[in-house]
Structure 1
Amino acid sequence: MIEAVGLTKRYGDKTAVHNLSFQVRPGAVTGFLGPNGSGKSTTMRMILGLDNPTAGTVTIGGYPYRKLPNAARQVGALLDAKAVHGGRHARNHLLCLAQLSGIPARRVDEVLGVVGLQDVARKRSKGFSLGMGQRLGIAAALLGDPQVLLFDEPVNGLDPEGILWVRNLMKSLAAEGRTVFVSSHLMSEMALTADHLIVIGRGQLLSDMSVTDFISANSADFARVRTPHTDPALREKLTSALTEAGGHVLPEQDGALRVTGLPLPRISDLAHECDVRLWELSPHQASLEEAYMRMTQGAVDYRSTVDQKAGLQQPLPPGVQPPMPVPGQGQPGWYAPPPPQQGYAPPQPFQTPPAASYGAYGAPGAPGAAPAPGGANPYAAPAQAPAAQTPAAPSATPAPAPAPAPDAAPTKSEDAR
C-alpha cells in the first residue's frame, strides 16, 4: 500500500504539491488524475524517492522507498519510456536492470514475451517507435515481479490493440492483489480501467473516491423523455404534470424533454395518469470526462485565449487583462481551490558574507574581483544600467561636405610623388 501524509513539495516560491494525503490500496487499479501542472509527476517522483518532500511523508508498505530492501523487486515504475540508452538492445537493457537487482536472466525473456517484444529483443531501442518504447518501459516495471506498480501515461503512443492489452494487464495485476497506481489524461480509458480515483488540482487533493461515486457526485443525472411529435399538446400536458410533481423540465433541441428531480418509475406513472404515450424514457449519466471537467474546471492553469485578428480587434491597454470566464462557475458542485502559494512566505535568498569575492565566473577568490558591496547576493541579476541619452535625430537632408581650399598647400606625399 502507498500512503502519503501531508505531502508538500516547494521549488523556491513555487508550491508544486501542498499538504497532500491519500492511500493507494492493493487489489484495485487507482487512477491518478489532474490537469497539467497539478503536481502528479512530482508526487510520483516523491513516492519513488527521486525527489525529497519539503514536508510530510510518503511510504510504500510502511517504509520510505529508499529504505526498502531490494526495492526493484518490490516496486516497479514507468515514469519516462524514453529513459533508455538508444544503443542498447531491448534484451540487454532489461538484462542490465536484472543483474543490478539480482534477478535471474530467464525473467528477462519472460517479460519480453509478456509485452510482445520477443521478436525485436535483439534490436537497438533507438529504432523503436513510441509504442514499442512504452512496452519496453512496462517490461522494465514488471521485471522484478513487484507487488506495487506505478505507471505514468502507460498507453501513450499505443495503438487500439495495445491500449486494450494495457487495460487488461492493469486489471489482471490488481486482481492478483497488487497495488496499481496509474496516471493518465485519457478519461475514457480511466473509466474502463480504474476502480478508484485520486484527483488533484494545483497540488491539492480534490477527490478521493470510487469512479462511480465520483461521477455521481460531480454530474447531474437526468431522464430523457420523448412524446409523439404529432400532438404537441401531449408534450405540454406531460410537462405540466412533471412540474407539479416536483420535477424540473427543460426542452432539448430535438424535441425531447430533460427531466431532473424525479425517478424513472415516477415519470412513467405520471405519463400513464395523463394518458400520454411515450416514445422514449431513458436514464442519462454523465461520463467520467464530464464529471472530471466539472470538478477541475477551477484548477486549470493553462487556458486558451481568443486570437486577435489583425485589423479587427484593438489590443487592450498595457497592464489590463481580459476577464477569463469559467464555465459552470456558480453552479452546484463548482469548486476552485485557492492557489497553495497564498499565505506562504518564500525563503530569503542566500546572503554572501561581505568578505567573499567573486570573479568573472562566480568563483570565490578569483583574481581581479572586488568583494560584493554590503554583502549583496553575488548571484542576483545586476542592476540595470541607466538608459543613455537618446541622440538627436539626424537631419533629413545631409549637410554638404566642405569644399577644399583653392590654395591648399601640397602634402608631403604629393611632394614625394
Structure 2
Amino acid sequence: MIEAVGLTKRYGAKTAVYNLSFQVRPGAVTGFLGPNGSGKSTTMRMILGLDEPTAGQVTVGGYPFRRLPNAPRQVGALLDAKAVHGGRSARQHLMCLAQLSGIPARRVDEVLGVVGLQSVARKRSKGFSLGMGQRLGIAAALLGDPQVLLFDEPVNGLDPEGILWVRNLMKQLASEGRTVFVSSHLMSEMALTADHLIVIGRGQLLADMNVRDFISYNSADFARVRTPDGEPAQREKLTSALGEAGGQVLPEQDGALRVTGLPLPRISELAHQADVRLWELSPHQASLEEAYMRMTSGAVDYRSTADQRAGLMEPVPGMPPQGGAHGYAPGMPGQPMGPGGFPPGTVLPGYAEPPAAPQGHAPAPGTPPHGQQAAAAPAAPPTAPPASAPDMTKRDSEDAR
C-alpha cells in the first residue's frame, strides 16, 4: 500500500504539492488524475524517493522508498520510457537492471515475452518507436515481480491493440492483489481501467473516491424525453404535467426534452396519465471526462484563446490566389489552365504523369500525346570521379546507413 500524509513539495517560491494525503490500496487499479502542472509527476517522484518532500511523508508498505530493502524487487515504476541508453539493446538494458537487483537472467526473457518484444530484443533501443519504448519501460517495471507498481502515461504512443493489452495487464495485476497506481490524461481509458480515482489540482487533493461516485457527484443526471415531432400539443401537455409534478424541463436542440428531478418510471407514469405518446425515454449519465472537466475547471493553469488570424488572411499583392488541397484551385483567375482544368504539367497524387486531356479536347501546344514521352534532353557530360573516396570501415558504413 502507498500512503501519503501531509505531503508538500516546494521549489523556491513555487509550491508544486501542498498538504496532500491519500492511500493507494492493493487489489484495485487507482487512477491518478489532474491537469498539466497539477503535481502528479512530482508526487510520483516523491513516492519513489527521487525528490525529497519539503514537509510530510509518503511510504510504501509502511517504509519510505529509500529504506526499502532491495526496492526494485518490491516496487516497479514507469515514469519516463525514454530513460534508456540508445546504444543498448532491449535485452542488454533489462540485463543491467536485473544484475543490479539480483534478479535471475531468465526473468529478462520472461518479461520480454510478456510485453511482446522478443523479436526485437537484440536491437538497439535508439531505433525503437514510442510505443516500443513504452513496452520496454513496462518490462522494466515488471522485472522484479513487485507488489507495488506505478505507471505514468503507460499507453502513450501505443496502438489500439497495445492500449487494450495495457488495460488488461493493469486489471490482471490488481486482481493478483498488487497495488497499481496509474497516472493518465486519457479519461476514456481511465473509465475502462480504474476502480478508484485520486484527483488533484494545483497540488491539492480534489477527490478520492471510486469511479462511479466521482461521476455521480460531479455531474447532473437527467432523462431525455421525446414526443411525436408532428404533434407540438402533446409536447406542451407533457411539459406542463412534468412541471406540475416537480420536474425541471428544458428543451434540447434536437427537439427532445431534458428532464431532471424525476425518475424514469415517474416520467412514464405522468405521460400515460396525460395520454401522451413517447418516442423516447432514456437516462443520461455524464462520462468520466465530463465529470472530470467539471471538477477541475477551476484548477487549470493553461487555457487557450481563440485564434483571430488578424490580418493573416489578406491577399498578398502580386501573388496569384492559392487554394485547393495541393495549392491550386482549377479555374481560378490568374492561373493558366491546361487540359482537364489543371495547370500545365500538374502531377496529381497517385499519377505518374499529368492527367490526360478529356475527350474532345486537343492537347495543349507542345504537350506530347498521352502515353508518349517527350524527347529526352541531351545527356550531360560525365563528371570526373572524385580524387579519392574516404576509407570507411565496416562499422562506419553501418552507422552511415
TM-score if structure 2 supplies the norm length? 0.77
Amino acid at match of 1:225: V
Q: Which residue of 2 aligns with 1:78?
A: 78
How far, CA to CA, are the matches of 2:238 and 2:85 in structure 1?
A: 68
Q: CA deviation at 1:307?
A: 3.6
Q: CA deviation at 1:308?
A: 4.7
Report the secondary structure of 2:162's partner residue. helix
How far, CA to CA, are the matches of 1:226 and 1:144 in structure 2?
A: 57
Q: CA deviation at 1:249?
A: 0.3
Q: Which residue of 1 aligns with 2:170?
A: 170
- Structure 1 residues 334-372: Cα deviation after superposition (integer angstroms, max 9, x where no partner): xxxxxxxxxxxxxxxxxxxxxxxxxxxxxxxxxxxxxxx
How far, CA to CA, are the matches of 2:225 and 2:307 in structure 1?
A: 40
Residues 90-169 of structure 1 aligned to structure 2 (within 5 Å)? 90-169=90-169
1:35 maps to 2:35: yes
How far, CA to CA, are the matches of 1:254 and 1:43 in structure 2?
A: 45
Q: CA deviation at 1:253?
A: 1.1
- Structure 1 residues 235-269: Cα deviation after superposition (integer angstroms, max 9, x where no partner): 00000000000000001111100000000000000
Amino acid at match of 1:258: R
Q: Which residue of 1 aligns with 2:365?
A: none
Q: CA deviation at 1:151?
A: 0.1
Q: Which residue of 2 aligns with 1:217?
A: 217
Residues 34-53 of structure 1 aligned to structure 2 (within 5 Å)? 34-53=34-53
Report the secondary structure of 1:225's partner residue. strand
Q: Percent identity?
A: 90
How far, CA to CA, are the matches of 1:2 and 1:104 in structure 2?
A: 27
Report the secondary structure of 2:300's partner residue. coil
Q: Which residue of 1 aligns with 2:88?
A: 88
Q: Which residue of 2 aligns with 1:259?
A: 259
How far, CA to CA, are the matches of 1:253 and 1:310 in structure 2?
A: 32
How far, CA to CA, are the matches of 1:311 and 1:80 in structure 2?
A: 42
Task: Tell me which structure has the larger Cα radius of gyration.
Answer: 1
Q: Which residue of 2 aligns with 1:226?
A: 226
Amino acid at match of 1:291: A
Amino acid at match of 2:176: E
Q: CA deviation at 1:306?
A: 3.0
Q: CA deviation at 1:291?
A: 0.3
Q: Which residue of 2 aligns with 1:195?
A: 195
- Structure 1 residues 316-342: Cα deviation after superposition (integer angstroms, max 9, x where no partner): xxxxxxxxxxxxxxxxxxxxxxxxxxx
1:294 maps to 2:301: no
Report the secondary structure of 2:5's partner residue. strand
Amino acid at match of 1:97: L
Q: CA deviation at 1:305?
A: 2.0
How far, CA to CA, are the matches of 1:47 and 1:166 in structure 2?
A: 22
How far, CA to CA, are the matches of 1:293 and 1:134 in structure 2?
A: 27
Amino acid at match of 1:140: A
Q: CA deviation at 1:230?
A: 1.9
Report the secondary structure of 2:182's partner residue. strand
- Structure 1 residues 5-26: Cα deviation after superposition (integer angstroms, max 9, x where no partner): 0000000000000000000000
Amino acid at match of 2:104: P
Report the secondary structure of 1:82's partner residue. coil
Q: CA deviation at 1:294?
A: 0.1
Report the secondary structure of 1:197's partner residue. strand
- What stretches of structure 1 move > 6 A for 4+ residues in a row? none
Q: Which residue of 2 aligns with 1:268?
A: 268
- Structure 1 residues 197-227: Cα deviation after superposition (integer angstroms, max 9, x where no partner): 0000000000000000000000000000011
Unaligned residue ranges in structure 1 (runs of 5+): 313-417
Q: CA deviation at 1:310?
A: 3.4
Amino acid at match of 2:221: D
Number of equivalent positions: 312
How far, CA to CA, are the matches of 1:85 and 1:96 in structure 2?
A: 11
Report the secondary structure of 1:223's partner residue. strand
1:208 maps to 2:231: no
Q: Which residue of 1 aligns with 2:377?
A: none
How far, CA to CA, are the matches of 1:97 and 1:6 in structure 2?
A: 33
Amino acid at match of 1:230: G
How far, CA to CA, are the matches of 2:214 and 2:255 in structure 1?
A: 30
- Structure 1 residues 150-198: Cα deviation after superposition (integer angstroms, max 9, x where no partner): 0000000000000000000000000000000000000000000000000
Report the secondary structure of 2:302's partner residue. coil
Q: Which residue of 2 aligns with 1:18?
A: 18
